[in-house]
Amino acid sequence: MKRSLASFICIISVALWSFSSLLGAAAQTDKKSDDAAPAGNVEKGKASFSSRNCATCHGSDAQGKEGGGPRIGPPPRAWADFVQYVRMPTGDMPPVSAQRVPDSELADIYAYLSTLGSSAAGPAAGSAAGSPAGSTATSKVVSDSDIADIFAYLHSVPIPPPVKSIPLLNQ
Q: Which residue has the higher pLDDT, 17 or 66?
A: 66
**Domains of the chain, residue spans:** 31-117+137-158
112: left (phi over 0), alpha (psi -120 to 50) or beta: alpha
Q: What whole-number distance in Å separates Cα of residue 23 and Cα of residue 19?
A: 6
Determine the average pLDDT of the residues in 31-54. 81
Q: What whole-number distance in Å separates Cα of residue 12 and Cα of residue 10?
A: 5
Indicate the pTM of the whole model.
0.50
CATH topology classification for 31-117+137-158:
Cytochrome Bc1 Complex; Chain D, domain 2 (1.10.760)
Q: How does pLDDT run across 157-169, given as a tens digit for each residue?
A: 888 888 888 888 8
